[in-house]
A and B are shown apart, each in its own frame.
Chain A
Amino acid sequence: MHSLGYRTNALLTFAVTVLALMCGMASLSDNLNFPSPSAQVKVLNINWFKKQPNANDQVSMTLNISADLQSLFTWNTKQVFVFLAAEYETPKNSLNQISLWDAIIPSKEHAKFWIHTSNKYRFIDQGSNLRGKEYNLTMHWHVMPKTGKMFADKIVMPGHRLPEEYR
């Protein structure tokens, strides 16, 4: 009844139960945080804009991204993954979603930032539909927790337009 094995078992079971409960509570407490993040993106320059030999349009641009994501961080937040995607429609595809830039924000201190960059991933169309194309830039973020449920949201910035001619 009160053997070593029995006590170890009881202690282990109790420890695991408490740990599981604490993980669950930490994850649930994330729901009490109502974040109010903000982001602005400016396309400063179209560096070049051309048709590849295989007839797909490709564009390189310089972006100015500023964001304040500090309110996303809670005590259960391990990191925030943030990325900027271009989204547009073509006759071929009802949705084209291309990640242009991304970053990992490891802590709240780094969550208010300002960056001047060209697109990190290639902005290529499947076809040559990009001349004069209107597109959305969308700032997405994924909150990765220390434990529990993951959260994601976005800010859509519509009304960007690519130039009418290659350059």
Chain B
Amino acid sequence: MGWVADTLHSVTSIQLRELFNHFISLGLIVTSALVIWKVLICVSGCQSPVVVVISASMEPGFGRGDILFLHTSKDPIRAGDIVVYNIDGKDIPIVHRVIEVRERQNTEEAYILTKGDNNPSDDRVMYNPGQKWLQEHHIMGRAVGFLPYVGWVTIIMTDIPVLKYILIGALGLLVLTMKE
């Protein structure tokens, strides 16, 4: 009966080996995605180096679903720059263009006013009540690059959360069951 046990053992060890291989390749995919993201953060100097445009306020330049690459640098913000800012107490970042800058004489503090290219008026109505200007700490970064449509994936996934789990599940299943 020795050969039965031997065969069984060889079969299970192969399967175990394959299973480990699958888990390692799955881990590789996840970690390489993480590495790419972290490298982007380092290179751009932004906490979130990529943003998805979700409103039509910058049409026809940027539409819903387009992706912007951000960059943070020491260069001061100037009129015309497209910045991503976050109003205190609101968690949705906004991508708009700077139309007015006032830089104080001694402190070099900058007071910034923004407007969406497609909006009829400036952004004061969107700031907190009483807030007239954006300051440096509101600005998350400056848009330097543009990629159309790619952001639709994330928009659809945030609109229909079930899809996200289905996709993750399907991908995991695919990796685990794929033959070498």
Binding site for B on A (CB under 8 A): 1, 3, 5-6, 23, 27, 78-79, 81, 83, 85, 91-99, 102, 104, 106, 121, 126, 140, 142, 144-150, 152
Q: Let me know if B80 and A140 touch, CB within 8 A.
A: yes
Q: Please tell me which one of the listed residues A6, A85, A92 contacts residue B104 in the complex, with CB atoms under 8 A apart.
A: A92
Q: Which of B4-12, B18-26, B38-46, B140-148 contacts A (4 or more CB under 8 A)?
A: B140-148
Q: Let me know if A93 and B102 touch, CB within 8 A.
A: yes
25 contacts between A and B (CB under 8 A): A5-B178, A23-B147, A79-B60, A79-B61, A81-B61, A81-B97, A85-B80, A94-B103, A96-B102, A96-B103, A98-B79, A98-B99, A98-B100, A99-B99, A99-B100, A104-B117, A140-B79, A140-B80, A142-B82, A145-B146, A147-B146, A147-B147, A148-B147, A149-B144, A150-B143
Set of chain B residues within 8 Å of A147, measured between Cβ atoms: 146-148
The SS class assigned to the A binding surface is strand
Q: Please tell me which one of the listed residues A6, A79, A93 contacts residue B105 in the complex, with CB atoms under 8 A apart.
A: A93
Q: Let me know if A97 and B101 touch, CB within 8 A.
A: yes
Set of chain B residues within 8 Å of A6, measured between Cβ atoms: 178
Kindly state whether residue B124 has any CB partner on chain A within 8 Å.
no
